[in-house]
Amino acid sequence: MFPGALPHPGRMRQHVARHVTMAEDRRGRSADVTAESLLVSWNDTPARQAIVAFVHAVASEGSPGFAEPAERVAVFDNDGTLWPEKPIPIQLDFTLFRMAELAVRNPSLKDRQPYKAAAERDYRWLGEAMIKHYHGDDADLRLLEGAVESAFAGMDVEAFGSEVLAWFESASHPTLRRPYLSCGFMPMVELLRYLEANGFVTYIASGGDRDFMRPFARRLYGIPPERVIGSALGLDLDSGGDDTALMYKSKIEFFDDGPEKPVRIWSRIGRRPLVAGGNSNGDIPMLRFARKGQRSALRLLVLHDDADREFAYTASSEKALDRARTHGWTTISIKNDWATVFTDRRLPPVPDPEVTGLR
């Protein structure tokens, strides 16, 4: 829908393939593919230098940091790491869209929260639910959680994927005024390609819902469904008819955040990552898991400090930022390290006080 919005994985791969072939021709085996051609949205700062130095060592046989190709696994959180998570997580926006749809089909829901808020696009109710939560009143938050868990109950996995894709065709960010499909952080997409060009296999490891991310992860990030790790609803096999189908339960199987992230990474990959990127306290166990004994690892933490181009906040990231300082993790400042955050493609301004008030 938005061609050219992000480096196209296919085109990028061709470019990279050509590059690797040249490197192989020259040296008989591929070493570090130069960062110059791939990390073009990055400023030449210590963060970028740390990334390039690490990858160069990993890819250079004989270097103390060399790692066999099988060990080159990179995992990245999604919300706040590969795309924005403010003012509300994009997945929540989708779920509200679904709740509004349910309220249209079942008018008895229209006067109940959170369906009412969803149908009226009243994001203030959501904001107030969060404020009440911080003041110890979880009643509204529980209403929301219950509705989120049951929003797709009984839907089969393939129908859900089609709904997600259809929604992304037109959904856009409420304050950045760009299609969600062009909300991927350009420098991070470049980093994925740069790692892959140097023999890494890249994965998403996010607290977001696995099956929500899968349909767009290939398009935004060039990452196929089998490399998307995330939270999951339970699944039931319906084999009553001629065809079998997998249906969502209205119950979460696991929430892939905090100490659960290493569990899910191991379950899926069977190896520790060598590169891990995140942005919040929930990513600490994943970043710690990348290191074992004397083996060095690249731990990346995205710092949201750019109110002009994205958002500026440190809430829910304080401990991670502390740990980055004390344990040699590489903090990526959006403001200082990224020359470009998104592509230039924006939607025309749409004044919407209810929405922009949240920023």
Minimum separation from the CB atom of position 3 to its own copies (A): 19
Q: Binding mask 306-325 vs its own copies (x if CB under 8 A, - otherwise)?
A: --------------------
Asked if residue 266 binds its own copies (CB under 8 A), the reply is yes
Asked if residue 288 binds its own copies (CB under 8 A), the reply is yes
Quick count: other Cβ atoms within 10 Å of Cβ 214?
22
Asked if residue 20 binds its own copies (CB under 8 A), the reply is no
Which among 82-90, 133-141, 187-195, 288-296 is the span making contact with its own copies, rule CB under 8 A?
A: 288-296
Count, residues near its own copies per rule CB under 8 A: 35
Minimum separation from the CB atom of position 258 to its own copies (A): 9
Specify whether the CB–CB gap between 202 and 22 falls below 8 A.
no
Scanning residues 124 to 183, which ones bind its own copies (CB under 8 A)?
Answer: 157-158
Among 142, 271, 319, 359, binds its own copies (CB under 8 A): 271
Asked if residue 268 binds its own copies (CB under 8 A), the reply is yes
Asked if residue 228 binds its own copies (CB under 8 A), the reply is yes
Nearest to 151, CA basis, from 209, 70, 76: 209
Asked if residue 285 binds its own copies (CB under 8 A), the reply is yes
Which among 47-55, 117-125, 192-200, 267-275 is the span making contact with its own copies, rule CB under 8 A?
A: 267-275
Asked if residue 289 binds its own copies (CB under 8 A), the reply is yes
Between 235 and 355, CB nearer to its own copies = 235
Asked if residue 292 binds its own copies (CB under 8 A), the reply is yes
Asked if residue 270 binds its own copies (CB under 8 A), the reply is yes
Structure tokens at 238: 């319906």
Quick count: other Cβ atoms within 10 Å of Cβ 314?
13
Which residues touch 86 (CB under 8 Å, ≥6 apart)?
80, 175, 304, 310, 311, 313, 359
Nearest to 323, CA basis, from 307, 299, 357: 299
Specify the 3-state DSSP secondary structure of 245.
strand
Which among 48-56, 114-122, 128-136, 289-297 is the span making contact with its own copies, rule CB under 8 A?
A: 289-297
Residues in the chain: 359
H-type helices in the chain, by residue range? 9-27, 46-59, 90-105, 115-119, 123-134, 139-150, 157-168, 186-197, 210-221, 260-269, 284-289, 318-327, 334-337, 353-356
Asked if residue 70 binds its own copies (CB under 8 A), the reply is yes
Between 73 and 302, CB nearer to its own copies = 73
Structure tokens at 297: 């690892």
Between 157 and 321, CB nearer to its own copies = 157
Between 46 and 225, CB nearer to its own copies = 225
Structure tokens at 97: 């869209």
Between CA 189 and CA 197, with CA 191 as vertex, the angle to 5 degrees is 110
Strand partners, 204: 76, 228
Minimum separation from the CB atom of position 98 to its own copies (A): 20
Structure tokens at 323: 């740990």
Among 25, 36, 226, 308, binds its own copies (CB under 8 A): 226
Among 4, 46, 154, 224, binds its own copies (CB under 8 A): 224
Angstrom distance (rounded) from CA 119 to CA 108: 12
Among 143, 171, 232, 252, binds its own copies (CB under 8 A): 232
- 107, burial (CB in 10 Å: exposed 0-12, middle 13-18, buried 19+): exposed
Which residues touch 13 (CB under 8 Å, ≥6 apart)?
193, 222
Residues lying near its own copies in the complex (CB under 8 A): 70, 157-158, 201, 210-211, 214, 224-226, 228, 232, 235-237, 239, 243-244, 246, 259-260, 262-263, 266-271, 285, 288-289, 291-293
